[in-house]
Structure 1
Amino acid sequence: MPKPIPTPTRTHPALTHRFSIPNRLFQSIYSISIFRAVINLTLVPVFSFRTLLGGLALGVRDVILGKPEVGREVQGVGMRELCEDESYGKHELATVNNVTLHYVTKGTGPLLLFLHGFPECWYMWTPLLSHFTATHTCVALDMRGYGLSDKPAGISPYHITELVTDVRELVKHLGHDKFHLVAHDWGGAIAWEYAHIHPDTLSSLTILNAPHFRTFNANMTPHQLWMSWYMFLHQIPAIPEWLYTRDGGDRFFDGAFEGVQTERVGENKVVYRAALMVPGAMRAAVTYYRAIYAARGRDLKWREVVEVPTLVVWGEKDPALDMEVNLAGLQNRFPNIEVASIPGCGHFVVDEQPEIVTALLDEHLKKNGGK
């Protein structure tokens, strides 16, 4: 039986959530940069040691029992082979902001740009592409570092201001002045930042389970820090990408999508795995996290309050991002925000509930200049 479509509301309880006194005390301490740095630096070795122990245990098990046979669902496919299939759109390359980016495009009409998250690629948007290409010029991007897009060396190329500039320059390359932006996870973090820097270019903004970094830090709780363990692991050079790719990515993708039981997930893991097994891709994807703390970005003008019509779709069972931490107070920065939360749904909302996401986005676009 199909799940009911939640109604977006400007008065969603998560927006006005009041944190407990202990959490408010922690937030006061965490807001002081030196204390925040000490807390974060302390957690890096804690979570790294925990993960290394787990990796060592897996290695010992593989030596004793041998590596498990790789099932068909995670065999992977060649990315260039996949790009010969144009059933979802035409595969194009654009050189912008000193990198060459791969994207898939189809349809005509207002520009509808999709940004994926970690550990995904353009392919996550295929259910929405099938629906919206009748009314929009749909563009699903492989962000820098992913799939067939360039993977520059170093950390600073992955600072969020560079990622924002990629989006701005790509939209110019496509010949559009304004567009609708839809984004998930890391793509959503970039989209939040883009809206603060280039709000006049947006007709609408749609965010799917993604942190607004300033809100995320302001609302930080000990529980969210624990949920964010992987962000601290990713600060360690080389180790995460070795762990994630040592067996061809099998265990990593099984773990990332654990508990996500839909018809699409098996197929999607094949493509996501192939995209991140391209040489240099996993390193680049993990470097996004390193650039949060270790890179200095370009100086871009940041607008505090953004009037862009904004829809947030949130899977309430996200194991990595607490809904209240990520949404509380966002209406002060985005006064035209509406939130629709999906009970029982986790982080990968498009993989888990594509029909609900499509219906919510369809309505949002119709209200804000889409067809």
Structure 2
Amino acid sequence: MSYDESPWEYTELPARAREAIENFVPPEELVTERLARYADVRPRPADHDGDTEELDGAVFTHHFAEIPGDQETVRWHYVETGSGEPVVFLHGMPDSWFMWHHQMAALSDSRRCIAIDLKGYGQSEKGRGDYRHVGAAQQLVELLDAIGVHEFVLVTHDRGTVQGDHIAAAHPTRVRHYVRGEQHLYHFNPALAPHDDLIAEAPWSGMMEDPKRFVVASYTMVGGLPVADEDMRRVIQEYSYPGITRAVPRYNMGSTFRKEWIERRRDLISRWRSPITLIQGWDSRTQPREFFADARERIPYAADVDVRYITGGHFWPLESPAEASALLRKVLG
């Protein structure tokens, strides 16, 4: 049975979500006003293996690793802080490892926190290769193998969650706890994904050619609370490394949000076994909280399922950093 012939039905949007998505594209005047605040942001020099920096009182170390892919070699950039049980963080779009730095610093007193730039993002690989989420997810696992991480807690957001879903399904005995953020689960409505086609067409439309504008517009579009200026500046810099604007759309060229949703429901959810905590922004515009009310019954074989909400919108790790850090500490024990 093809996708087009399948019996999948979309979930009707609650009135609150319909209103939010109708005003999805922010006024150009607002984006221009916010861009002016970051007019002086300049590209950041690339890091080198072993470079360190201090954030929130914790020392972060940058690492690079070259891991065989399919026909290519994948160069990964990842950042570590702390020691103890490994916690692997995967970011969304338009972000990088830096999205998680507040939470990593908060957990570094008892955890080995590892945040990876997804392939195509930050300082990781941007060349041709496997940009199917299932393929990229397996390459992430091969990176973890290479750096000696076998069992781990997995914390994800947005596009990183799409790959996290594959990791949790393919390696159920290795993922000790899956903390899953800001991604469709059982319910979906294509009205929530007007940006799907836009991203796939970005190399031709030029939508991402100005990374600063794209980042500011994205945060304005689906953000909830203001992000600290110093954090926003670094988000812009991390999305401005050469090659990102051409590499990131490769994911959307080979798939769609609808296909991801069907694959999740048809195959992945039933293979999740670890305890799962779903974390969503209370005012998330693209994943309305009403869509997660029945999550416990939709994930039948997980050891446990918990649903938590954080003040703010889509980018809650940076919108409500203290609340997000406290919740992660509580969830992980």
User: If the length of structure 1 is used for normalisation, what is the TM-score?
Assistant: 0.70
Mapping for residues 200-349 of structure 1, pairs under 5 Å: 200-212=173-185, 215=186, 219-221=187-189, 225-236=190-201, 238-240=203-205, 242-245=206-209, 248-258=210-220, 260-262=224-226, 264-293=227-256, 304-325=270-291, 328-329=294-295, 330-332=298-300, 334=302, 336-342=304-310, 344-349=311-316
Q: Which amino acid aligns with 1:250?
A: K
Give the fraction of aligned pairs with identical amino acids, expressed as a percent.
21
Preserved contact between residue 180 and residue 203 of structure 1 (Cα < 8 Å): yes
Match of 1:75 in 2: 41
Q: State the secondary structure of the residue aligned to 1:234.
A: helix
Q: CA deviation at 1:358?
A: 1.3
Match of 2:53 in 1: 86
Counterparts of 1:351 and 1:159 in 2: how far apart (Å)? 28
> Which has the higher relative contact order, 1 or 2, with Cα contacts under 8 A spaced 6 or more apart?
1
Counterparts of 1:209 and 1:341 in 2: how far apart (Å)? 10
Match of 2:164 in 1: 191
Preserved contact between residue 73 and residue 266 of structure 1 (Cα < 8 Å): no
1:126 is aligned to 2:88: no
Mapping for residues 143-158 of structure 1, pairs under 5 Å: 143-153=118-128, 157-158=130-131
Q: Which amino acid aligns with 1:332?
A: P
Q: CA deviation at 1:286?
A: 2.1
Preserved contact between residue 177 and residue 276 of structure 2 (Cα < 8 Å): yes
The structure-2 alpha-carbon separation of the partners of 1:148 and 1:233, relative to structure 1 and needing over 3 Å to count, comes to: same
Match of 1:182 in 2: 155
The structure-2 alpha-carbon separation of the partners of 1:239 and 1:356, relative to structure 1 and needing over 3 Å to count, comes to: same
User: If the length of structure 2 is used for normalisation, what is the TM-score?
Assistant: 0.77
Preserved contact between residue 277 and residue 305 of structure 2 (Cα < 8 Å): yes
Q: Which runs of 5+ in 2 are unaligned?
A: 10-24, 260-266
- The structure whose residues are more often helix, as a share, is 1
CA RMSD between the two structures: 3.5
Q: Which structure would you say has the larger Rg?
A: 1
Residue by residue over 1:88-117, the C-alpha shift from the partner in whole angstroms, topping out at 9 and shown as x without a partner, is 411101122330100111221111111010
Preserved contact between residue 188 and residue 211 of structure 1 (Cα < 8 Å): no
Q: CA deviation at 1:85?
A: 4.6
Q: Which runs of 5+ in 1 are unaligned?
A: 1-30, 40-53, 367-371
Q: State the secondary structure of the residue aligned to 1:277.
A: coil
The structure-2 alpha-carbon separation of the partners of 1:355 and 1:237, relative to structure 1 and needing over 3 Å to count, comes to: closer
The number of residues matched between the two structures is 295
Counterparts of 2:150 and 2:107 in 1: how far apart (Å)? 20
Q: Which amino acid aligns with 2:233?
A: V
The structure-2 alpha-carbon separation of the partners of 1:197 and 1:69, relative to structure 1 and needing over 3 Å to count, comes to: closer
- The structure whose residues are more often strand, as a share, is 2
Counterparts of 1:73 and 1:351 in 2: how far apart (Å)? 21
Preserved contact between residue 316 and residue 346 of structure 1 (Cα < 8 Å): yes
